[in-house]
A and B are shown apart, each in its own frame.
Chain A
């Protein structure tokens, strides 16, 4: 030691050096290393071998330790200060894995996590827009659809993708015009005269279904459908028809995620059913001549002359279906960036979508963008802001049926001998001979020379600031603006069609809707069992105000220059025929509150109260209160539950409450209205037009719901039944008045009541899941029974329907068709509902309530298969028990309109020989003795049941191929897929001449075939 001491030469420095050496010795010793080591590992999915990003890795011993997350390659490094230790690796939807560490290791360990095949374990958060809760603690009836399920589906409105996806939600698509909103009913018809559509809420903003069309389906994080009182009563006067809540994607902490999707394809014609195919040239001329002969008033010479003038001998004809329908283009491109850290989270996306329907001049181009930002400011403030802007430009063909410029209708009506083109290839615009278009239009010419377009720009922005005041007391202030600019343009050419008599006509309408909403809310949560997070009381209270205003300006003119077909704006019109403007608006002012409690995840109770004031209603009834109570019992949390082995989970929930509806009502429905413009000697005259109703108030719905979730086989099968009874009082409808008042009716009065009751069943099953093959299935079916329980006015005809107590609102009111007299081919009807006697006199037959337009049940069936990375999924939608009315049957059956083309079934089944049993009468031109045979009766009601294969997708993630993965490092997903929509439809009535959803005047359904590539970086 002495020597060493001398060696270093300086006495004083020795302790420092010695300690340094000693320290080095200690630090490098294996004993100490064991005490402070780094565990390196990689978290993977046991079944698919895919890496799990964002798995949580924490030390078991350290309570409150947040742990770390696995990175984008599934890797993690965790520092462990003392051994032995236990780390816990967990990830949502997987069983947590515990690892005991006894020794230091250099090795990188693979940690496979096993999926938890427990369908209930996915923590579904139900957010009603005011408060979010785990489904297990939620007392309401709701369905949450993950946006990823429908991302990129080639449809112009996200609502179309919801068809068949949610029990109780009936979505029908009467028109496949790109950009059109489908019809949506939740738990049956909610109103008679007003809208029955659910309320739409996007990122907290209460808006309309049109706002959804402006949304890029790819930007949706999830869609929540709220159904019962416990769920909807917080929306008070607007909750009756249910609520559809759309939440857009937000930024996430972690590695920046970039997604790019490209999908291109085509829209393709779905042919009409055989019964409804139009006649070809030979069939048409044969029927025409037969009709003339059967009329008995035409000589053979007359028939020969007519045949000549109608072109039967010309040898030239065309198929109008082929001319009007075509294959259209379909494409979409979406790019999004999702990034963030603990303080800032950002989501940015842009989308481009175009779709051409298979009908002439029916298309949409949508450009959309979304930015969502969340910024933490200090420890207590969080600012969120979002902006969604979309431009939609669409062309629509003439949708009218009066002048037959409507190509869909024209393609059915036009004779094969009415040629679209002259021999020289120019359009046939002849409007004076039977070879031209005397009463019809050449829709090809119309489609090329008329313009019907709408250019719409919609912006929706929201901003909110959340302040964590103290512990679990938060204050949130929120404001949102939904601003829509719409320009409609219509030009009818001066050569043929609606503009012919006015040398061309044009109109332009500009409308602007500005809808703002503000909300200020306090929410508080108190855990009454200390740290136990599953026992708490929550309370929220808030104030909400909303105002919407619409401005509309329009002008029209006639007389456009024939020689300058491009000069079509109104300044070129010879005469300005109209100029008008209007302004309209409404406002809401509300206070709302909700209180909820949960005890050990076993019992939950909730109550809500809202008081709404609306400008729409009369001074006497402007304010209304709505409330609900709800409860849930998670019976599987009880100790006795484990004693049985059939169920793996069970839960009940029930609720009762009141909601209101006034959607779709005129903004000034309660007020007496007068109009100006009834001029008298050049002075402005006032006309008192509508009597007011100061007592007018909301339609009120009392909702009762009881539902359950039952899990079987370790929750790999979940059955969710839900039963409801909704009683609607004070239905708003027009009520007749004594004429002595000077008015014939009060257009809006609370009168009448209705009930919807029904059962919904959802089955979710994880049928198979192995390393190579998996199969998941989802089935739902909904039954709804609608019944008018109080009429409030005289019973009887309501258009084609029968209105009376005890009947479904959409019960048809019709004469019952009894077929054809086999001896002479005349049409027969039953004299009354007993069907005991028939008559040949249409007017002698009684109208009776018969069948209904409401489906008895409907639902969806979705299956997803995965085999070695290849995924295949199919969505089926079904709808049973409704009858469809063929309003235009008068034109397409029998001889009354013999100059119109007919359904194929007329040709096949018409009576021709005595003794022939058929339901299609003898064909007599212009009707003759059978003038009423085609009048509306049960003959023209078809069974509207159908099953449709809505969507089939097959895809493969190419990144699973090692060669590709190495070729393009950094790409996390490279999914190539092909998709077909509306591939197959099975109907159940051979008489049905058209698609059961589309009918024969609106844009018919089409098939879409696409191929796509999804890239994720």
Chain B
């Protein structure tokens, strides 16, 4: 794994501190200065694992701290949007509120309902949080700062994040609660549907960059892709809101309808893990969006990590804003929105981008700006035309004749 040793100062530091012996790796990446590693010859794999573990722990803990900060931010901002104050009692400006919440959740009784499938019930929160943390592995969060620059980076993100559909259905099914079951069924229907337009919206970007690696995508952005791919950005932010169960697509845990959806029966820290996964997903998705559409870590003057954080919290703010404003859609409207609105739009976007890439193989800056103009036009016309059709469809009568006969299978 030479890229890690060369690209990541922290990793190199730990590795060399432990393993930089004469016989281990020669002069190698550690250079001449460090010649007194702690480990004997032949044990450098331990150093490799220790360095990896160290950096992963650091990353996850920093991420979880950021999630706590984000929950605080979300609650304060929602308070502001709703003409109230939000948490302001615990610590300075209420900053310790997430800590207080965590303590409360940890001390709560951990209940498992009598009718629950215990194994799946206990497994679901873990299956929910792991994909969120896994995405961090490929997310470049600063210049030369990433755990792995694998050549299928964005594909890895898409693959890993779709696992939480399974986690939600596990939770919904295993709870033995009908509200939870409703939530689980809705989760499967909704998340699987929105996977399609989200993935197709990424294809446009991949056509420009010609690479799936997250680092390559950032470096290929001479103009931020939010300008070059406005339609893809719209589809991505709408689709990923739906995948994260954010308003207006929060049907999976629609409070006024099905109480809490799939995590109705969870209490204590298992519930906390679900919440952590949901809030973490917002940050991770904002990170992916910043990488794909807003040049990731790149920016003038300020250090790259700070730029990345600014962009992440900018997107997170937009999501909070939407959450505070919009009512929820109905399940059939949500499915319509995915298949009849976002899906055709993403196909149009893909087609237009493909033609552009075919015509201008090595675009100059002027040609890039021409693409910006064309794509912006396509985005506006497409969205307006499709919303006109969608609105007319949405006004059709909502009542369906219920099939009163129960079909008995054999």
A binds B: no
Binding site for B on A (CB under 8 A): none
Binding site for A on B (CB under 8 A): none
